[in-house]
Copies of this chain bind each other. A is one copy, B any other.
């Protein structure tokens, strides 16, 4: 039966890249006999300017009924920074309880990494970022704001439930991979949050004697991601550390344009949302210079999540086939427009 996918292209390069992801999904649907129905939602900067709302309640209710959400990017110079990011991306992650932010860091063959000599087999990890709490809850405030005595506080809130479900997802995933889970935190300094994360990690780990575990401080993690990414298989971490190390991971795997993510609600109580790690990049919007690989690979994660692993694989294979033809990973030097890239991937999917 049909699966309904809410498409939220958003701003900047969002529409260009998601259009290629849709094309790739449709090619895979054709080939593997899937029934995907797309529903467009014009959220983002224009919508906010016209309506004064980021996601009105009725739209949110419709989105909630979708089987999945394919998201492009939001953000525009005309909108105060943070309004759309918090009101849309962060809001939906939380409202739809998408507590796992899954971000593969995988160097694909033929893609140049900034790390000299890095080979694809050395860089294949998955970072699971807690996606609903931590420093992202917006807790904090000011005392004496604007005075010389001002104090601004920002609080990270971590619940046992939130930490445990993310960590459990990591262990389940590791069973299907190289059976190694690393916890990343800064437990020697963030002694309260770090203690909860470490204690929960150890308790869950005890249930999985077949899985190897270790702990790495977030500062050391940044170093290792650059010098020894082969150390990692599945990495679990909190919302803010996950934000930071996945951008670094994107750099290591060849650039933000290639990085995919899934905001997963593993319980199915609300839809999961799939989005490239990159932003709306207004500077290059509309020129055909955006790399749609991040969006297509996010759509692959979506197809996997929707129960179509072969179709998912075909998108990944399509991207892998086309990427080595690019002159650069982004911009006019790419040597192939955003749309041509999408056409080539769709053709590869259909031909196979």
Contacts and interface: CB of A to CB of B under 8 A. Distances in A.
A213 interface: no
Interface stretch (A182-190, A297-305, A343-351): A182-190
A34 interface: no
B142 A196 contact: yes
A254 to B, nearest CB: 10
Interface stretch (A15-23, A48-56, A245-253): A245-253
B149 A160 contact: yes
Interface residues of A, number: 62
A2 interface: no
Interface in A191-214: 191-196
Contact of A243 (B186, B194, B243, B245): B186
User: Assembly of this chain: how many copies?
Assistant: 2
Contact of A252 (B155, B156, B219, B226): B226
A244 B184 CA distance: 12
A28 interface: no
Interface stretch (A3-11, A112-120, A314-322): A112-120
A152 B196 contact: yes
A193 B152 contact: yes
A223 B247 contact: yes
Nearest to A156: B154
Nearest to A190: B154
Interface in A134-167: 135-136, 138-142, 147-161
Contacts of A246: 219
Nearest to A255: B227
Interface stretch (A82-90, A287-295, A334-342): A82-90
25 contacts: A82-B187, A86-B189, A90-B189, A113-B116, A114-B115, A114-B116, A115-B115, A136-B189, A140-B155, A140-B190, A142-B195, A142-B196, A148-B161, A150-B159, A152-B159, A154-B192, A154-B193, A154-B194, A186-B240, A189-B243, A219-B248, A220-B247, A222-B222, A222-B244, A227-B251
7 A-B pairs closest in CB distance:
A116-B116, A152-B196, A219-B247, A150-B160, A82-B188, A140-B192, A222-B248
